[in-house]
Chain A
């Protein structure tokens, strides 16, 4: 760890927590207030047109149906726009209609807040699809997550309640009072840094030097020609121009980061210079990734009228996050011993970032790339500013583990908080077993029904990840996507299933996933990874909300002190570790050992 990397981490965490506190209190007001400022202009006309009675509460099951109906409409709409984009306006590059399986995958991906991308943005999607289908779902999937978190929080406060809020109100308010104003400010800032925002066609500019490259030569029949050995015949081609992609990118990227969505406007995501042009835009996007998930911990404390409860969750998240960030920065700074063996200079100095620079951008270097990798996977964001596939084995294993912990270390907006609360309930249950008391959390007894639902919510993603990985590895179509040999190829598949099932969306992107096999498999795991958790969470909320709130007694286990934080971290890590260590051992750990062998061999050769 260098001086600069410590400064980066400390400044980042300090700013994150300082901004999260006021934002969290503001979100609590949005969740709880009877009437918000400007309601008669902003909210009420929408409710009138929609026939919504904002004061009418919903039972947990009505809330769940509303969530599902709204999200299904979203999925159908996103699918339809992609399939019809060739005949719809705002398509200056004449993009063809997206194929059925890719459009299906992308629709599910954006509705579930995953934003896994099997396609390359600048070569696939029209401007209309980007702004009207994809960016809109960035808002709606984020608002859905936050709304579900509101319901679970309200359940702890409620006393023998039948209803826990109104989904239409939570959705509208979260979108218009939280996400939209923040995105407007952030998007304008991003434009100032160089993120493009226009509706022009792509620019084609004559470059200073012509580029000569090789491409397969086509015969008279239009098919690639083969030589006597069956190898394709190559021909030299000269390119005198460069295409500069355009589009309404800044508006989409602002909400992509704030809503833990992560879907890039361009294929290279936040590594693309038009998506993340400067170190400053990079730092603020990095803050935006974790901002709302961190703020929601304060929201939780505010809403349950006990700030210490929110701080305990935040402390557990922060501890795991910082440990992960330090480790990843360390491994990436070490560089690649096989490249070092070629005499390449990988040292960190005042004139270069050094370290493992394959798949990284010079303006970000290894430190912010490593910090970003951990932030984007700790939160279920999934945007990348460096290619995780080319990270060192252990540097890439930590982001993968962050995803596998269930996206509860900050996690997605809303989903991270309700996920962590599920782990908190699990923790009081385990602690209750140890000391022989009925477990309770915030005065609510945790009983058989809750434990069943908690078990579903915790077990559904490991099931999807491990069974999905097994299916992919046992089928020809699954193995065909692997692009790196050996254990790294296994890691590519494990990462993809982990990312999709946990609604993260980042990738070991060498995997060729834009095939009907992966588009279908990953769409299925994304859908269940999202809604097979939301429904049990809402059921838990319904059950807890209907219960009385018990008074705190000397026998109550405190859920805000250091002891609880340690227990909570332990629960998260043990569940994650027990589930995934065997799989990780086959992938990144084996690969790390292979690299170590290189180092030893090289050292011996040098003697």
Chain B
């Protein structure tokens, strides 16, 4: 047995030091040196104060803001300390009830809007922290946001257009808008 134990133990220790200590430290060194903002969470600031991460979605419920996708994290939505999807199956009545509830909330906040609601606005994201909504979901909300801010809807649509991202090389990624970036841009409008 000793013929096995010595190489096993020694190699375990040495390779652990290489892959478990030297390697993460090296990546931290390079990452902090070359990409400090990304390595530390892509935090964005407003007036010198951090207001969130451009990568992590926040919950919005006031009519004057674009709403993020529903989040199934607990106890509160968009809980960064406990990422999670709903894990509701496609035939689970709880899923259909939840979607129904979200449709009602959206309709109530904007009774005049009769367009069909884009699916991503009424379904929970995989992480519970999705920073994006689809371009369709942003356009759907434009009227409500413009109305509650007393600005022309065209102005809001221009902001959506300026914020939106599309598929790279026509297959990588989907048409989307970063909700936090869009809402910050809205707040920056001088009225």
Contacts and interface: CB of A to CB of B under 8 A. Distances in A.
Given A7-B170, A242-B58, A168 B127 contact: no
B172 interface: yes
Contacts of B49: 206
A536 B157 CA distance: 64
A213 B76 contact: yes
B84 interface: yes
A31 to B, nearest CB: 18
Contacts of A318: none
Interface string A351-365: 111111111111111
Interface string A369-412: 10000000000000011110111110000000000000000000
Contact of A246 (B20, B32, B41): B41
B79 interface: yes
Interface string A476-496: 000000011111100100000
B94 to A, nearest CB: 8
B32 to A, nearest CB: 7
Q: Which range contains the number of B residues in contact with the other chain?
A: 35 or more
Contact of B78 (A211, A335, A352, A358): A211
A38 interface: no
A387 B89 CA distance: 10
Interface string A65-78: 11001100110010
B20 A131 contact: yes
B83 A510 contact: no
A239 interface: yes
B123 A208 contact: no
B89 A488 contact: yes
B124 to A, nearest CB: 6
B97 to A, nearest CB: 11
Contacts of A3: 170
A280 B165 CA distance: 13
Contact of A209 (B60, B83, B91): B60
A329 to B, nearest CB: 12
Contacts of A274: 41, 55-56
Contacts of A520: none
B76 A239 contact: yes
B6 A51 contact: yes
Contact of B39 (A77, A198, A211, A350): A198
A242 B78 contact: yes
A192 B38 contact: yes
Contact of B80 (A4, A192, A245): A245
A244 B60 contact: no
Interface in A204-223: 205-209, 211-215
A339 B96 contact: yes
A443 interface: no
Nearest to B140: A345
Interface of A is mostly: mixed
Contacts of A196: 38-41
A208 B93 CA distance: 33
A209 B90 contact: no
A3 B93 CA distance: 33
A455 to B, nearest CB: 29
Contact of B116 (A65, A70, A277, A344): A344
Interface in B119-165: 119-120, 122-137, 139
Given A7-B170, A198-B32, A205-B50, A338 B27 contact: no
Contacts of B89: 389-390, 484, 488, 491, 508, 510, 591
A200 B41 CA distance: 11
Contact of A243 (B5, B80, B86): B80
Contacts of A228: none
Interface stretch (A175-183, A301-309, A545-553, A574-582): A175-183
Most buried by B among A11, A335, A358, A364: A358
B191 interface: no
Interface string B1-33: 000111111111011101111011011101110
B176 A362 contact: yes
Contact of A354 (B27, B41, B119): B119
Most buried by A among B24, B51, B62, B135: B24
Q: Which 4 A-B pairs have the closest CB atoms?
A: A279-B173, A510-B87, A271-B126, A365-B174
21 contacts: A11-B169, A46-B11, A49-B14, A120-B83, A122-B81, A139-B19, A184-B26, A187-B31, A192-B34, A194-B42, A208-B65, A208-B187, A239-B76, A272-B127, A274-B55, A352-B118, A367-B171, A384-B126, A389-B89, A393-B90, A508-B89
Interface of A: 3-5, 7-8, 11, 46, 49-52, 65-66, 69-70, 73-74, 77, 120, 122-123, 131-133, 135-136, 139-140, 168, 171-172, 175-176, 180, 183-184, 187-188, 191-200, 202-203, 205-209, 211-215, 237, 239, 242-246, 248, 250-252, 254-255, 266-268, 271-274, 277-280, 282-283, 335-336, 338-339, 342-346, 349-365, 367-369, 384-387, 389-393, 483-488, 491, 508-510, 591, 594-595
Given A3-B170, A208-B184, 4 more contacts: A50-B7, A131-B20, A206-B51, A487-B91
Interface of B: 4-12, 14-16, 18-21, 23-24, 26-28, 30-32, 34-35, 38-43, 49-53, 55-62, 65, 69, 75-93, 95-96, 99-100, 103, 115-120, 122-137, 139, 167-176, 180, 183-184, 187
